[in-house]
Chains A and B, each alone.
Chain A
Amino acid sequence: MMALRKYTWIGLTAARSNLAYLSEVAARTVFLAVILYIFLRLWQVTYGDTGATQLGGLTLPQMLWYLVMTETLTLSAPRVAPEIDQDVRTGALAVQLIRPLSYPLARLWSTLGERLVRFGLNLVVGAAIALLLVGPIAFSAGGLLLFLLALPCAFTLDFLGQFLIGMGAFWLEDTSGLLLIYSRITMILGGMLIPLELFPQAVQPWLRALPFSSIIYGPARMFVHPDAAFLRDLIVRQGLAIVVLSGAVALVYRAGIRRIHANGG
């Protein structure tokens, strides 16, 4: 109980300190506005050319709101891997080890706190742009609740992926390339640019089984199309992926800290 309170405070502190950087919101507004406008045009032309009212089970406004959510989820990701990379390279990790905290858990809670604030701000900006471009879609309180249930595991999964990359600094000269590849794989296989329903039928089951879709596609789909059965499946997949990746983190972390050599004070 004591430990939980400790890590919750770490999360709250990270969230509070992130609220201080509201100027970043202006930069994100431009970014989101450009991206969403381009996607709107791409899908407007596609719906128009095909004469379809629904693609992948989504209408044009739903498609844009889906993309608002995928962009919001992607842009809200804190820069965990580069920070861990720096902790490893500068030796700051050695200082963390003498604190009465688990380094991975402290990082997880601080990331969750930071991400919550960024997610909220991005969503406000993205929703405002979507309202302007295509107007609202049907939301219900129950549907939004189901969507919110899908978020914590998605954030945790993404953290675990990024933590593993940051730990790569123990063995690699530079982890930025690895992070770029991870983020791009999440983008494409996670359904950030195109819902999984529009992928070829044969690959869809594979993509649903991979953790990337549980980070982006799953929550975004719940946002525009809430469904209790889909949520149940999603949470099972997220849970399995968290167990596997947590095991990998434990192994890599243990191997990594054995390589720390600290001198001086």
Chain B
Amino acid sequence: MLKQLTNYLGLVAAYTRLNLNAQLEYRGAFISQVVAMFLNDGVWLVFWTLFFTRFPVLRGWTINDVITLWAMTASGFGLAHAIYGNVLPLAGLVAQGQLDVWMLYPRALLPHILLGRMSASAWGDALFGYAVYLVFVRPDLQHFGLFVVLTLSAALLFVGFGVLTGSLSFFLGNASSLADQWRFAMVTFSTYPAVLFDGAIKLLLYTLVPAGFVSYLPVQALRELSPWYALLALAGALGVTAMGVLVFYLGLRRYESGNLMEMRG
């Protein structure tokens, strides 16, 4: 088990290095995408700063909590798609029958295919998340350690959620648009304080659009330095990922090849 895990982590490192080298072939474009995403996230921080300058407390949340929320979502989303970038076009890959080439490798299909691409802008998100947390929240070592663990949990959640929504193409034909909209809802809800929502919407945030595992539990865990909230966040991420993997492999039985000629460099 440990040997398998080490072996897989080696594969992750190799793919990340290769994907990064491929991105750096167009160094200017890569840097501009990273910087643009960093600034894009920064604009939201400006919005929240303006908001909290005018209204200092929002249902018990302060500007520091919202910065933590943005740091968590951005770094989780960034890490997920910087390493597992193929999760974004997964619905399209399935619909167009482009999994064949990945089936030829002596590797487990899903964890391998997800490594096939890197989103350049995701590096901007990841850098932004860690930078703003360090610069604005100024955590002690304990808080920072917990923050790093929770960003990994958020990244796992985003990957699992992406697999779940992308796998809908096995059942619905081309579900790219549906997957995009569902992901959009997830990301959007993840960037607003969960305390804004009550009732049925709150329930939605822990089920259909599981943003609460990014926007509430991790922030509470860091506010109170609570292992309980951290474990709940991790359990949510593992649950969503398990569901995604299950739906993917159930759907795979219905997969039809696109008979496409493909070459991978």
Q: Is the CB of B26 within 8 A of A173?
A: yes
**From DSSP, what is the main secondary structure of chain A's interface residues?**
helix
Q: Once bound together, how far apart are the Cα atoms of A45 and B57, in whole Å?
A: 11
Of all chain B residues, the one with the shortest Cβ separation from A31 is: B184
Of A49, A178, A180, A188, which contacts B57 at CB under 8 A?
A49
**From DSSP, what is the main secondary structure of chain B's interface residues?**
helix
Contacts of B55 in A (CB 8 A): 46, 49-50
Of A35, A49, A176, A194, which contacts B36 at CB under 8 A?
A176
Cβ of B188 < 8 Å from any Cβ of A?
A: yes
Query: Which residues of chain A from 128 to 148 have a CB within 8 Å of any chain B CB?
Result: none
Cβ of B254 < 8 Å from any Cβ of A?
A: no
Q: Once bound together, how far apart are the Cα atoms of A181 and B39, in whole Å?
A: 7
Of all chain A residues, the one with the shortest Cβ separation from B36 is: A177
Of all chain B residues, the one with the shortest Cβ separation from A37 is: B201
Q: Once bound together, how far apart are the Cα atoms of A161 and B216, in whole Å?
A: 38
Q: Once bound together, how far apart are the Cα atoms of A35 and B184, in whole Å?
A: 10
Q: Is the CB of B33 within 8 A of A176?
A: yes
Cβ of B105 < 8 Å from any Cβ of A?
A: no
Of all chain B residues, the one with the shortest Cβ separation from A200 is: B53
Contacts of B47 in A (CB 8 A): 188, 193-194
Cβ of B43 < 8 Å from any Cβ of A?
A: yes
Q: Once bound together, how far apart are the Cα atoms of A177 and B33, in whole Å?
A: 5
A189 to chain B: closest CB distance in Å?
9
Q: Is the CB of B28 within 8 A of A174?
A: yes
Q: Once bound together, how far apart are the Cα atoms of A165 and B197, in whole Å?
A: 39
Query: Which residues of chain A from 73 to 106 have a CB within 8 Å of any chain B CB?
Result: none
Contacts of B40 in A (CB 8 A): 180-181, 184
How many A residues, CB 8 Å from partner?
30
A180 to chain B: closest CB distance in Å?
4
Of all chain A residues, the one with the shortest Cβ separation from B60 is: A49
Contacts of A199 in B (CB 8 A): 50
B35 to chain A: closest CB distance in Å?
6
Q: Is the CB of B59 within 8 A of A49?
A: yes
Q: Once bound together, how far apart are the Cα atoms of A194 and B57, in whole Å?
A: 17
Cβ of B253 < 8 Å from any Cβ of A?
A: no
Query: Which residues of chain B from 227 to 261 have a CB within 8 Å of any chain A CB?
Result: none
Q: Once bound together, how far apart are the Cα atoms of A176 and B120, in whole Å?
A: 12
Q: Is the CB of B51 within 8 A of A194?
A: yes
A176, A177, A187, A193 — which one has the most chain B CB atoms within 10 A of its CB? A177
Of A30, A37, A184, which contacts B181 at CB under 8 A?
A30
Q: Once bound together, how far apart are the Cα atoms of A176 and B33, in whole Å?
A: 7
Query: Which residues of chain B from 35 to 51 have a CB within 8 Å of any chain A CB?
Result: 35-37, 39-40, 43, 46-47, 50-51
Interface residues on B, range: 20 to 34
Contacts of A45 in B (CB 8 A): 58-59, 196
Q: Once bound together, how far apart are the Cα atoms of A46 and B50, in whole Å?
A: 14
Q: Once bound together, how far apart are the Cα atoms of A19 and B16, in whole Å?
A: 43
Q: Once bound together, how far apart are the Cα atoms of A113 and B205, in whole Å?
A: 39
Cβ of B192 < 8 Å from any Cβ of A?
A: yes
Contacts of B181 in A (CB 8 A): 27, 30-31
Contacts of B3 in A (CB 8 A): none
Of all chain A residues, the one with the shortest Cβ separation from B53 is: A200
Q: Is the CB of A181 within 8 A of B192?
A: no
Cβ of A172 < 8 Å from any Cβ of B?
A: yes
Q: Is the CB of B188 within 8 A of A173?
A: no
Known: A184-B39, A198-B50. A174 touches B196 (CB 8 A): no
Q: Mark A160-191, 1 if CB is under 8 A from B, else 0.
A: 00000000000011101110110011011000
Of A50, A174, A180, A188, which contacts B37 at CB under 8 A?
A180
A27-B177, A31-B184 are known; give 7 further A-B pairs, CB within 8 A. Answer: A34-B185, A173-B28, A173-B29, A174-B26, A177-B35, A178-B32, A198-B50
The 9 closest A-B pairs by CB, nearest first: A177-B36, A177-B32, A174-B29, A173-B28, A184-B43, A180-B36, A41-B196, A30-B181, A173-B29
Question: Can you list 25 A-B contacts with CB-CB less than 8 angstroms, sorted by A residue number?
Answer: A27-B177, A27-B181, A30-B184, A34-B189, A37-B201, A38-B192, A38-B196, A41-B196, A42-B196, A45-B59, A49-B58, A173-B28, A176-B32, A177-B33, A177-B35, A178-B32, A180-B39, A180-B40, A184-B39, A188-B46, A188-B47, A194-B50, A194-B51, A198-B50, A199-B50
